[in-house]
Amino acid sequence: MYTKRSKTELAQRVAQDIFEGAYVNLGIGQPTLVANHIPTHIEVVLHSENGILGMGPAPESGAEDYDLINAGKQPVTLRAGGSFFHHADSFAMMRGGHLDICVLGAFQVSATGDLANWSTGELGSIPAVGGAMDLAIGAKQTWVMMDLLTKKGESKIVEHCTYPLTGIGCVKRIYSDLATLECTPHGLKLIDTVDGLTQGELEKLLGMPVMT
Amino acid sequence: MIDKIAPNIAHALAHVQDGATVLIGGFGTAGIPNELIDGLIHQGARDLTVVNNNAGNGDSGLAALLKTGRVKKIICSFPRQADSFVFDELYRSGQIELELVPQGNLTERLRAAGAGIGAFFTPTGFGTELAKNADGSPKETRRIDGKDYVLEYPIYGDLALIKAEVGDRWGNLTFRKAARNFGPVMAAAAKFTVATVHRIAELGELDPETIVTPGIYVSKVVKINHVATQAGGLKSA
């Protein structure tokens, strides 16, 4: 028997691997939660693609400044040492490999690290990509944070993505509610599973082998 | 004497031509030049191509410009939003063309235009649907030192509409917090740049070390009113 990691536990698991001095971009949605769990004894600099380094938590009610928002367009604060810059510089930081870690959500990830997280390719839907493709391929390490299975129980880790790609071979690690895995050119490598979930059971859920 | 201060928005936008490519700054609630967009609606130029990160929200600003039917094409990274109903309807009924560009490629294409770069190879988008031209043909690619890149071309603007914080009569600009976003890049990418500011400084008053956009990139500066929040930012933009 095993229990899935809750959203908070998953955010804590990701935060545990963020290191002192890291420059980190947390994607919109679930990855944003990671910020709440970064250990207080280390200094981490959060980047927001709309031109902020040193982003802090949400302001107190009434102190919102709508010139100071994150990529999800929510009001944020600036920490001491923070800075502002224009969009081309902000994306140069990503594309130029200056960010240490970027944490993104995903629809699908392939065992070798291909990412699909911007479009389900549904007919008639209006496409929108934002900074997803730049983030995916830019950071030194791209981590994905997601449920391992879809609501129908299908694995979101696949041999080949069937949804439109965001980037090729760009995901280094997958943090999921059931296991943490590394994507390598040779396939998945196990980092950890939740208590009680065996490697065999995990492989069955994934429908593919996992290296140790 | 150089004096780029315009008495009002109508004056600054008097010569916008039909068919112009208009670069519009802003991201989320920060740095959207709504006053200038309203001025452009009033001015009446049509057959416009608009470049913005999004495709308008609600009924005002860029959405209101789209609603006039004077925009034939939009180049942006994220058109679909909870309240982008004006764009959604135009797009679904085939009344507006969309060129979807990853945000970093969008800003770098603008930067290239301002910097005189003919085209550039970017890793962003390689191997994806966005590495295709409008007709579905693949964009040019190249492997350089073992890494794959897509060739992307500049986006030149005839006009840039941006929102800054303080400006002087030479057109030097400073910005406020994350309202800077696309402003400096678009200012350089357009032939004619109009910036709104909340304050006009005397020449020499702005610290040269902190001027973000030098006046060489700016054509007109117009002062607008500031609706401050407790923290000093704008309440609605």
pLDDT for position B197: 97
Predicted-complex ipTM score: 0.95
Burial class for A87, CB neighbours closer than 10 Å (0-12, 13-18, 19+): buried
- pLDDT band of B227, cuts 50, 70, 90: confident
Tell me whether residue A43 is in a domain.
Answer: yes
Tell me whether residue A212 is in a domain.
Answer: no
Contacts of B134 in chain A (CB under 8 A): none
Amino acid at B60: S
The domain ranges of chain B are 9-118+155-223, 119-152
pLDDT over 60 at B237, yes or no: no
Residue B44 Rama label (left phi>0; alpha psi -120 to 50; beta): left
Give me the tens of pLDDT residue by residue for chain A, a chain 212 residues long.
899 999 999 999 999 999 999 999 999 989 999 999 999 999 999 999 999 999 999 999 999 999 999 999 999 999 999 999 999 999 999 999 999 999 999 999 999 999 999 998 888 889 999 999 999 999 999 999 999 999 999 999 999 999 999 999 999 999 999 999 999 999 999 999 999 999 999 999 999 999 99
H helix and E strand count, chain A: 4, 12
A207–chain B Cβ distance below 8 A for any pair: no
CATH of the domain at A121: 3.40.1080.10
CB B150 within 8 A of CB B138: no
Q: Could you say which of B81, B124, B180 has the minimum Cβ distance to residue A86? A: B180
Instruction: Say yes or no for a CB contact (<8 Å) between A137 and B126.
Output: yes
- Torsion angles phi and psi, residue B43, rounded to 5: -65, -35
Strand, coil or helix: what is A43?
A: coil
Torsion B35-B36-B42-B46 (CA) sign:
negative
pLDDT for position B29: 87
Angle at B161 between CA B203 and CA B84, to 5 degrees: 145
Return the C-alpha torsion angle B10, B14, B17, B18, nearest 10. Answer: 40
Contacts of A90 in chain B (CB under 8 A): 107
Residues B20-79 pLDDT 10s: 999 999 998 899 999 999 999 999 999 999 999 999 999 999 999 999 999 999 999 999
Question: Of B23, B77, B9, B75, which Cα lies nearest the Cα of B225?
Answer: B9
Tell me whether residue A211 is in a domain.
Answer: no
Class of domain B9-118+155-223: alpha beta
Domain that holds residue A80: 7-206
CB A173 within 8 A of CB A184: no
CB B42 within 8 A of CB B49: no
Contacts of B196 in chain A (CB under 8 A): none
pLDDT over 80 at B10, yes or no: yes
Token pair, residue B48, equals: 């416009």
Give the gap in angstroms from C-alpha B1 to the nearest C-alpha of chain A.
Answer: 30
Domains held by chain A: number: 1
Instruction: Say yes or no for a CB contact (<8 Å) between A126 and B88.
Output: yes
- Torsion angles phi and psi, residue B182, rounded to 5: -85, -10
Q: Which residue's entry shows tokens 């389900």? A: A120
pLDDT for position B153: 98
Angle between helices B103-115 and A87-95 (to 10 degrees): 120
Q: Cα(A33)–Cα(A6) distance, rounded to whole angstroms? A: 12
pLDDT over 50 at B214, yes or no: yes
Residues B185-208 pLDDT 10s: 999 999 999 999 999 999 999 999
Residues B129-183 pLDDT 10s: 999 999 999 999 999 999 999 999 999 999 999 999 999 999 999 999 999 999 9
Tell me whether residue A1 is in a domain.
Answer: no
Of chain B residues 164-193, which have a CB less than 8 A from chain A? 175-185
- Mean pLDDT estimate for chain B: 95
Q: Cα(B192)–Cα(B163) distance, rounded to whole angstroms? A: 14
H helix and E strand count, chain B: 6, 13
pLDDT for position A98: 97
Q: Cα(A31)–Cα(A43) distance, rounded to whole angstroms? A: 18
A104–chain B Cβ distance below 8 A for any pair: no
pLDDT for position B81: 86
Return the C-alpha torsion angle B96, B102, B105, B107, nearest 10. Answer: 70
Instruction: Say yes or no for a CB contact (<8 Å) between B103 and A87.
Output: yes
Alpha-helical segments (H) within chain B:
9-12, 34-43, 62-67, 85-92, 103-115, 183-189
Q: Which residue's entry shows tokens 């470049």? A: B51
Tell me whether residue A147 is in a domain.
Answer: yes
pLDDT for position B124: 98
